Structure 1
Amino acid sequence: MYGIGVMSGTSLDGLDIVCIDLVAYEKNKEITLVASKTVDYEMNFKEQLSEQCHNHTASLAKITMMNAYLGQFIGEQVIQFLREQQLLVEKVAFISSHGQTIFHEPVGAEGIFEIPSTLQIGDISYISEVTRLPVIGDFRTADMAAGGQGAPLLSFFDANFLYSSSAGRAIQNIGGIGNVTFVSKDEKAPVISFDTGPGNVLIDSAIQKLTNGEKKFDQNGEMARKGTIHEQIVEQLMQHPYYEMPLPKTTGRELYTTHYLNEIVNEMKGASTEDILATLTAYTVETIKQSYGRYLPLEQIDEIYINGGGSLNGYLMELLKQAFPTKKVAPLDGLGVPAVWKEAIAFALFGYNTMLGIPNQLPSATGARREVVMGKVAYCDGNPLMRFQKLRGET
């Protein structure tokens, strides 16, 4: 019995697909990765997605159609993935898809109609129609309806699977956006989780802009390593009010926009591409460092584990080790969870909880009033729960 997890992150670089063994999970709570794949987005597709994330380029018509198209695309990619990996569709209990976040407003505005809200596209009915499988998605809205910020959701996974009685751990995700979960070695201590700021979103956008699309990301941080960090720019960027907001707090691409990046590049006019990349990499590290000092019991952190694309950036990892010289800083792989696949794995497990009606978020992290079961289910071929129960041998 398999569960498929699908993740499309803030960086808009591609679609992560994983297959986990649900039998192993049910028996021993063991996370067994059966297969995994990343589908890179073509530049034109990425540009079309990016347009729908910004007020000045988005439109109702394009958002609606992209919602349908992305759902169809995800369905087709999952079917291809199953064929490539020679996995039987009949053994797949469900597909759990995060979707692509194009808008996230965790606080709301002043108008009576302007309440906290979020929007992920990649319609689950289209995925179900293409795959003829049950599909779970639209996770964040249930948490927000209960007064939460709809993020960070991975704190639930971190608290349940990465706890250690011998070490306090900070689990730092560096995807498009950076977020951290602090899991104390004191099992009774509250879990603290929030978005630290930009992860790779500015670095990736900058290298694409400055190389005219020739490079999608800074491989291993090699270009940034050759540059000089402009410390005054980093200090200036750290003055943004987000970094002093009280918890709970989350952020996203709606803050770190193309306009925001252009302002930084213009401020560094005359600097080399390498200098700009080095400065943006240092900015990401500084947001993490200052966030830990402001919101976390730093003295209780023994180990810092990095997941997401940032774990593959050697230069960024070096700067993190320099920022926390007395802590162990390492990729999450050291704990047995593949750093680059963690998010997709987590959403597969969230989908499992949804099917069983088990809460799958952490109110202490999101700010919700209570535990809720996140996720909506689409199944174009009948009763998803009945199918799930049959695979589990219940009927």
Structure 2
Amino acid sequence: MKVLGMISGTSHDGIDVATVDFEVRDGVLHGTVGHTATIGYPPSLRQRLVRALPPAPLTFEEACALDTLIGQAFADAATDAIERGGPVDFICSHGQTVYHWVEGRHVLGTLQIGQPAWIAERTGVPVVFDVRIRDIVAGGQGAPLVALMDTMLLAGLPGHPAALNLGGIANMTVPASATTPHTLAYDTGPANALIDAAVVRISGGERSYDEDGRLAAAGAVHDGLLEHLLGEPYYALAAPKSTGKELFNAEYVDKAVAAFPGIGDADLVATLTALTAQTVADEVRRHGVDTLVASGGGCENPTLMAMLAKRLPGVRLTTTAEFGAPTATKEAIAFALLGWQTANGLPGNSSSATGAAGDRVLGAIVPGSAPLRLPEPLAVAPRVLHLGGGRDD
């Protein structure tokens, strides 16, 4: 079964796509990664989306318009992926997260927009969507859903490995082992969210991220500000836990900087980059991880990766590219896997990681142009994933 996975992450900068052809052989799930790409939102749409995000007020009219426009952008991306990578049997669209309703350690709701009917209408292919809410209704965090792919991809690695995704928010998966009886997966805190917010303010909106980590590399970490930021109560919460830009946003940066007047632009970005590295490193050490497999846009920031490596002596730091998943589109591959799981009647969450009452089949399905036909559910879910053929286009 060939599945197209699609997601726009918490950086809100565009749509990651990946086609994966899945086949079970001898109890192992093999995935051949075909076309992968990242398609940026049109600048006007991205600006409109960013202006609507918390803590900004939002009307139902604008919410409806964004749901439609982003759905159309996903439909365009799906059509392009199919033209380039060939026909697919299923599509799994995560859409664009615009709000994750968290009170303390409890998630009460989540909202992803990007109306999937546009995708189904344009492509004629059935679309799995709204994949987080079933886990939340079952008492889970609804995140991180990449835990399933992480555990399957890292299965069999010696020692105590973990997976790290550096998107807008950083999340880590620690598979079950002799010292960790159950898989853990949770958001460690911001990855690029605060860095991006600072760069947007510094550049007057002309830049959306610290390209190649150059601004951070030009600055010096402000120890006082870093200590202040590390006092954020979220870091002290026990897993499972999740967060988002509802907390870690431009207003958060402004409030922190107000206590340290006069800090330079480069020093601010260096400090925010160090915050990401420090909060991730603290969690890696907490779990005794000896191999850390990273993915996400943060892997393209050499200053961040160097800060992380410096804080983790003795830990092997590599990327998911070593395992067949390009770093930029690993999450799209993960959602292709979730679409495959749903189509085959298999759970897509890792309940020990999210905190749900049990494993659940995730999502709803918009039929394509033909009657919806699903394969017979698999009696035994594969626990190992081998990927091949992947590269970023």
Matched residue, 1:16: 16
After TM superposition, the structure 1 = structure 2 runs for residues 19-30 of structure 1, keeping only pairs within 5 Å, are 19-23=19-23, 29-30=29-30
Write out per-residue CA displacement over residues 68-119 of structure 1, whole angstroms, 9 at most, x where no aligned residue.
Answer: 2211221122112322x1x44xx3101111111111124479xxxx971111
Alpha-carbon distance in 1 for matches of 2:249, 2:339: 30
The alignment partner of 1:351 has SS state of helix
In structure 1, what is the Cα distance between the partners aligned to 2:204 and 2:372? 46
**2:279 equivalent to 1:287:** yes
SS class of match (1:276): helix
Per-residue CA distance 1:227-278 (angstroms, 9 max, x = gap) = 1110111110111111111221100010012211222344444333211111
Structure-1 separation of matches of 2:350 and 2:110: 18
Q: CA deviation at 1:26?
A: 9.6
Residues 357-368 of structure 1: pairs in structure 2 closer than 5 A: 357-368=345-356
Task: Report what 2:287 is aligned to.
Answer: 297
Say if 1:223 and 1:274, in contact at 8 Å, map to a contact too.
yes
1:241 aligns with 2:233: yes
1:197 is matched with which residue? 189
Q: How far, CA to CA, are the matches of 1:72 and 1:25 in structure 2? A: 37
Q: What stretches of structure 2 of length at least 5 have no aligned partner?
A: 377-393
Which structure dedicates a bigger proportion of its chain to helix? 1
The answer on whether the counterparts of 1:165 and 1:185 sit within 8 Å (CA) in structure 2 is no
Q: Is the 8 A contact 2:82 2:88 kept in 1?
A: no
In 1: Cα distance, 2:25 partner to 2:103 partner: 36
Out of 298, 303, 308, the residue aligned to residue 310 of structure 1 is: 298
The one-letter code of the counterpart of 1:227 is G
Are the counterparts in 2 of residues 76 and 131 from structure 1 also a CA contact under 8 Å?
no
**How far apart in 2 are the matches of 1:27 and 1:370?**
23
Q: Which residue of 2 aligns with 1:326?
A: 314
Match of 1:370 among 341, 352, 358: 358
Identity value in percent = 33
User: CA 1:242/1:342 → structure 2, altered by over 3 Å: closer, same or farther?
Assistant: same
Where structure 1 has 5 or more consecutive residues not aligned to the other structure, the ranges are: 390-395
Q: Secondary structure at the match of 2:89?
A: strand
Tell me whether 100-109 or 169-178 shows the greater mean CA deviation.
Answer: 100-109
Q: Is the 8 A contact 2:41 2:73 kept in 1?
A: no
Q: SS state of the match for residue 7, structure 1?
A: strand
For residues 258-273 of structure 1, the aligned pairs below 5 Å read 258-273=250-265
Contact between 1:234 and 1:283, CA under 8 Å: does it hold in 2? yes
What residue number does 1:275 align with?
267
Alignment check: 8 A CA contact 2:165 2:294 kept: yes
**Cα distance in 1 for residues equivalent to 2:263 and 2:180:** 49
| SS of equivalent to 1:116 | strand
Opposite residue 48 of structure 2, the aligned amino acid is Q
Q: Is the 8 A contact 1:172 1:304 kept in 2?
A: yes
Deviation at 1:185, TM superposition (A): 4.6
Q: Which residue of 2 aligns with 1:41?
A: 41
CA contact (8 A) 2:225 2:271 kept: yes
Map 1:110-259; keep pairs closer than 5 Å. 116-186=108-178, 189-259=181-251
Which amino acid is 1:210 matched to? I
Q: 1:276 to 1:108 in 2, by over 3 A?
A: closer
Answer whether contact 1:108 1:116 (CA < 8 A) is retained. no
Aligned to 2:391: none
The offset of 1:324, in angstroms, is: 0.7
Q: Which residue of 2 aligns with 1:393?
A: none
Q: Which has the higher contact order (CA 8 A, sep 6+)?
A: 2
TM-score between both structures, scaled by the size of structure 1: 0.89
Post-superposition, which runs of at least 4 consecutive aligned residues in structure 1 deviate over 6 A? 24-27
1:55: Cα distance to partner?
4.1
2:341 aligns to what? 353
Q: Is the 8 A contact 1:355 1:385 kept in 2?
A: no
C-alpha separation in 1, matches of 2:259 and 2:39: 35
Distance 1:349 1:331 in 2: 19
Contact persistence 1:174–1:199 (CA under 8 A): yes
1:176 Cα shift? 0.5
The Cα of 1:25 is off from its aligned counterpart by 7.9
Alignment of 1:334-353 (within 5 A): 334-353=322-341
- Letter of the structure 2 residue corresponding to residue 307 of structure 1: S
TM-score, scaled to structure 2 = 0.89
d(CA) in 2 for partners of 1:20, 1:276: 40
Instruction: State how far apart, in whole Å, the 1-side matches of 2:144 and 2:154 are.
Output: 16
Give the corresponding residue for 1:78: 78
The two structures, once aligned, show a CA RMSD in angstroms of 2.3
- Structure 1 distance, partners of 2:262, 2:26, is 57
